[in-house]
Structure 1
Amino acid sequence: MDLRSVIALFALITAQCARASPPNFVLLFADDLGYGDLGCFGHPSSLTPNLDRLAARGLRFTDFYVTSSVCSPSRAALLTGRYQTRSGIYPGVLYPGSKGGLPLNETTVAEVLKSKGYATAIMGKWHLGVGLNGTYLPTRQGFDSYLGIPYSHDQGPCQNLTCFPPDVKCYGFCDQGVVTVPLMFNENIKQQPADFLQLEKAYSEFASQFISVAVQNKHPFFLYYPSHHTHYPQYAGADYAGKSPRGPFGDSLMEFDGTVGKILQTLEETGVINNTLIFFTGDNGPELMRKSRGGNAGLMKCGKGTTYEGGMREPAIAYWPGSIQPGVTRALASSLDILPTFAKLAGAALPDVQLDGVDMTNILLNHGPSERQAIFYYPTNPSEKYSVFAVRWTNFKAHYYTQGAIHSQSTPDSNCSSLPLLHHDPPLLYNLEADPSEYYNLNSAEWDSVLKQIQAVKEHFEASMVFGESEIAKGRDSALEPCCIPNCTPKPECCHCTSAL
């Protein structure tokens, strides 16, 4: 046996020993982050050294997708491994006073891992419902502890709040006529409105304590960090404000990256970095209507709110020292695949429901091909009448319907902001390997066989889809908006409590 073979065998044995105990999982989920926003994905002025480090030493995905181009449905699919149409998280997103939320009969990845003795925690943006008496909060969905804002931080008046030190007010007005955004610990409001300047410090301390206690108690752990960054309005504390050449968006992104760095530091200090899989991606594409404050989709067409690539194709990185070898994969993968992958690695049983995700371990551990052949693109307001708007099969993408979105206005491409729904027969067809920007429609007869194959894949998938009752259609009740002083008047103005983080 030559020296190279000995080294390879030693590396294999080391990796297998590292996996002898259940791995820990850290799931990082950025908000409204475009495919082209990170330094490691090509942005010239974003400062993301910690994410760049993960990309350089881990596996970077070029073809990773989420299931929706807006927040709530994308998060539902990530946590359940099922399209949002099955769980009822459509159309659009949940609001502070929404009556519905992620149904409790859905099984989250946290619940899957808890069945194997994992400690579970979430910090950041939940956005899958609050409900009456906290019915839908993370602590009811498999998480042992929670620190965060339960929905988007623009879903409350923000014009008088401070987003940058010393007292730079948040840019824009956000939602009006509702309570200011609360910071919750488990099911109790700790602060209302949340102090944006101290928020990431609180998250870093929460993560460090959670990891340290889990390691001390010899529990495998799952930490889910769905960040508020880089969603509008951007904010950053004193350590990051004014530090990025990219302006407020860059400062916000840099602060997110800083929290990632502190999580990495804790994993290293507690000695579990080599037994922890860190997976990073984002919930949907950039909100281009915000211009320089709204992110960048890079080569991808359009952004948030659309079924073009810029709306649903996201940067993604997997990092696990000694188990995942550095590199780049063009394997087709989705946020739906997180649950079955974590379950496989933890030795946990899958939920007894129709899953849309597939196991990614062959991609992660062997740089092998994907079990996934197709991606189905639902609009923000899916319906059984129109079903999927587009299908990606291998390298090809067919658009059956296209529609722009207000979220993607302000670009020179009129397709991004054109609101009329357009039906395409025959479908628009693009080769995403040769044309990731969806510029050149393959409209000649030579591509008919590809369209027939995509149509067969589409019909097979649609036959399996059962739309769940819409949770968002259940409506809203202002009495359900979280308030730190129950039953106070006049609401929402009276919901105001300050405490140190």
Structure 2
Amino acid sequence: MMDLMCIIALFALITAQCAPASPPNFVLLFADDLGYGDLGCFGHPSSLTPNLNRLAAQGLRFTDFYVTSPVCSPSRAALLTGRYQTRSGIYPGVFYPGSRGGLPLNETTIAEVLKSQGYTTAMVGKWHLGVGLNSTYLPTRQGFDKYLGIPYSHDQGPCQNLTCFPPDVKCFGLCDQGVVTVPLMFNEIIEQQPADFLQLEKTYSKFASQFINVAVQNKSPFFLYYPSHHTHYPQYAGADYAGKSPRGPFGDALMEFDGTVGQILKTLEETGVINNTLIFFTGDNGPELMRKSRGGNAGLMKCGKGTTYEGGMREPAIAYWPGLIQPGVTRALASSLDILPTFAKLAGAPLPKVQLDGVDMTDILFNKGPSQRQTIFYYPVDPSEKYSVFAVRWKNFKAHYYTRGAAHSESTPDNDCSLLSFFKHHDPPLLFNLEADPSENYNLDGTEWDPVRKEIQTIKEQFEASMVFGESEISKGIDSALEPCCTPSCTPKPQCCHCTSAL
């Protein structure tokens, strides 16, 4: 009888035939530069990630989950809008502290979709979708009620004199020079500059817990977006995690991220809303292999960050909702593009009236059913209308029309990953069966595979005909006067931009 009741309740929720007594909450966890093989639950032997392992063991683990870009800003834009970054103009590359552009305000984010249904929304962590003049592009202008974080990558500011591990271990490397140190912002105000890496994750964890507590007290459904800085270079960790991982600094940083996930889970349990909350975890792009042991690991996947090989764009992903998502593994094809339409469906929210590239994943989540998605399109770091997509996955097959290595993926024995592996056009395209050969080692070059190539070519042409490139926001350039500074009238910049935290 209980099973029947659960099925009835679930059916009502998913089909929206009757309004649920309490709309579901959403927690979206987004790691940074995390490889397919970096988590313990995805096979890494020395990564200590007990909380993510718990989500994987008690939730649904995806084996074939993709992001839309092998670098940060475009991947984040697609996640939040359900649209390829080419449509919104988030290309080529990533935003910088003084970038003039940002995620266009006419794009509709997940936060804005959910706010239309009365949700309270918050973001904590890494934004990297622009700051702009007078905070034009910050999360508070994109549907988030509250924001605490660094507005771009924490390596986009000098770090050689900053402490990354206690008691006073300086950050590994130099990071970006000639710009302001990274600021910690609350809403649109700089609270601390430079950010204190040793306390940063504790500050984030406290903010996330307080947000959940207040939302529950106010009986408001909520959306919490936590895009972590971990495990991006330079790795850092506070006293609770420094030196605790057998994997070294990268492992310590990953443990700290996992610890914040654990605190979020604890808060959801203590507030009694864990059973009415969908938690979704994935990462923004593949690992930065150039960092060697201080970078991530793509596991079986070829190459990493900056490339359109599997290691650059296939990510670990987990969906967790106690009582509604049954534990298991799915091989269904899915993408970060699919998160917005899925959350919208579950919240009963209308979809944005624009061309969406995402599809609803509820049948995968609740029935372990097939995906509505049969294709993945792989854009390079610098997409153009001339070359368009570099590769296409259709069902189990992937065709590479163009390949190129990347500086981010240097240092591996595979020469295809290297920056010296220059742009190559493949005619006929390279073809791999990713079910049998996830490492993309064995090109299917026989004539018997011509029908597959023909089918993929047709799909590619149809997709490209539907793609309208938006004006490039990143090509609008950089103005150093736009770099966030807690004392904007001070001199000389950037050295004078310094303030201590009130948090």
For residues 489 and 333 of structure 2, what CA distance do their matches in structure 1 show?
50
Residues 225-240 of structure 1 correspond to what in structure 2 (within 5 A)? Answer: 225-240=226-241
Pair 1:458-2:460 in alignment: yes
Where does residue 17 of structure 2 map in the other structure?
A: none
Q: How far 1:11 moved relative to its partner?
A: 3.4
Q: Which letter maps to 2:133?
A: L
Where does residue 499 of structure 1 map in the other structure?
A: 501
Where does residue 278 of structure 1 map in the other structure?
A: 279
2:377 counterpart SS class: strand
For residues 209 and 135 of structure 1, what CA distance do their matches in structure 2 show?
26
2:412 counterpart SS class: coil
For residues 32 and 11 of structure 2, what CA distance do their matches in structure 1 show?
34
Q: Which letter maps to 2:305?
A: K
Where does residue 368 of structure 1 map in the other structure?
A: 369
- Which structure 2 segments of 5+ residues have no match? 14-19
Where does residue 384 of structure 2 map in the other structure?
A: 383
Pair 1:124-2:125 in alignment: yes
Where does residue 444 of structure 1 map in the other structure?
A: 446
Residue deviations 1:308-342 (CA, integer Å, cap 9, x gap): 00000000000000110110000000000000000
Q: How far 1:281 moved relative to its partner?
A: 0.1
For residues 365 and 456 of structure 1, what CA distance do their matches in structure 2 show?
32
For residues 218 and 142 of structure 2, what CA distance do their matches in structure 1 show?
23
Residue deviations 1:105-159 (CA, integer Å, cap 9, x gap): 0000000000000000000000000000000000000000000000000000000
For residues 93 and 74 of structure 2, what CA distance do their matches in structure 1 show?
7
Q: Which letter maps to 1:429?
A: L
Where does residue 420 of structure 1 map in the other structure?
A: 422
1:176 counterpart SS class: coil
Q: How far 1:10 moved relative to its partner?
A: 3.7
Where does residue 184 of structure 1 map in the other structure?
A: 185
Pair 1:323-2:324 in alignment: yes
Q: How far 1:9 moved relative to its partner?
A: 1.3
Pair 1:433-2:435 in alignment: yes
Where does residue 343 of structure 2 map in the other structure?
A: 342
Pair 1:9-2:4 in alignment: yes
Residues 25-424 of structure 1 correspond to what in structure 2 (within 5 A)? Answer: 25-417=26-418, 418-424=420-426
For residues 2 and 162 of structure 2, what CA distance do their matches in structure 1 show?
57
Q: How far 1:21 moved relative to its partner?
A: 2.1
Residue deviations 1:239-294 (CA, integer Å, cap 9, x gap): 00000000000000000000000000000000000000000000000000000011
Q: Is the 8 A contact 2:415 2:421 kept in 1?
A: no
Q: How far 1:12 moved relative to its partner?
A: 1.9
For residues 438 and 487 of structure 2, what CA distance do their matches in structure 1 show?
51
For residues 273 and 228 of structure 2, what CA distance do their matches in structure 1 show?
23
1:77 counterpart SS class: helix
Normalising by structure 1, what TM-score? Answer: 0.98
Q: How far 1:419 moved relative to its partner?
A: 3.8
For residues 438 and 66 of structure 2, what CA distance do their matches in structure 1 show?
13
Residue deviations 1:7-27 (CA, integer Å, cap 9, x gap): 531432464688542100000
Where does residue 16 of structure 2 map in the other structure?
A: none
Q: Is the 8 A contact 2:92 2:472 kept in 1?
A: yes
Deviates more, 1:17-26 or 1:428-437: 17-26
1:222 counterpart SS class: strand
Q: Is the 8 A contact 1:15 1:322 kept in 2?
A: no
2:126 counterpart SS class: coil
Q: Is the 8 A contact 1:229 1:253 kept in 2?
A: yes
Q: Which letter maps to 1:447?
A: W
Q: Which letter maps to 1:80?
A: T
Q: Is the 8 A contact 1:14 1:322 kept in 2?
A: no
Q: Is the 8 A contact 2:123 2:148 kept in 1?
A: yes
User: What is the number of residues matched between the two proteins?
Assistant: 496
Structure 1 vs Structure 2: percent identity of aligned residues? 85
- Which structure 1 segments of 5+ residues have no match? 1-5
1:353 counterpart SS class: coil
Q: Which letter maps to 2:169?
A: V
Q: Is the 8 A contact 1:32 1:283 kept in 2?
A: yes
Q: How far 1:499 moved relative to its partner?
A: 2.2
Residue deviations 1:441-464 (CA, integer Å, cap 9, x gap): 000000000000000110110010
RMSD: 0.9
Q: Which letter maps to 1:487?
A: S
Q: How far 1:486 moved relative to its partner?
A: 1.3
For residues 345 and 12 of structure 1, what CA distance do their matches in structure 2 show?
15
For residues 477 and 146 of structure 2, what CA distance do their matches in structure 1 show?
28
Which of 470, 473, 480 is residue 471 of structure 1 equivalent to?
Answer: 473
Q: Which letter maps to 1:369?
A: P
For residues 472 and 47 of structure 1, what CA distance do their matches in structure 2 show?
37
Normalising by structure 2, what TM-score? Answer: 0.98
Residue deviations 1:372-425 (CA, integer Å, cap 9, x gap): 010000000000000000000000000000000000000000000134100000
Residue deviations 1:330-376 (CA, integer Å, cap 9, x gap): 00000000000000000000000000000000000111000001000
Where does residue 3 of structure 1 map in the other structure?
A: none
Q: Is the 8 A contact 1:26 1:222 kept in 2?
A: yes
Q: Which letter maps to 1:12?
A: I
1:124 counterpart SS class: strand
Pair 1:485-2:500 in alignment: no
For residues 370 and 493 of structure 1, what CA distance do their matches in structure 2 show?
52
2:203 counterpart SS class: helix
Deviates more, 1:86-95 or 1:12-21: 12-21
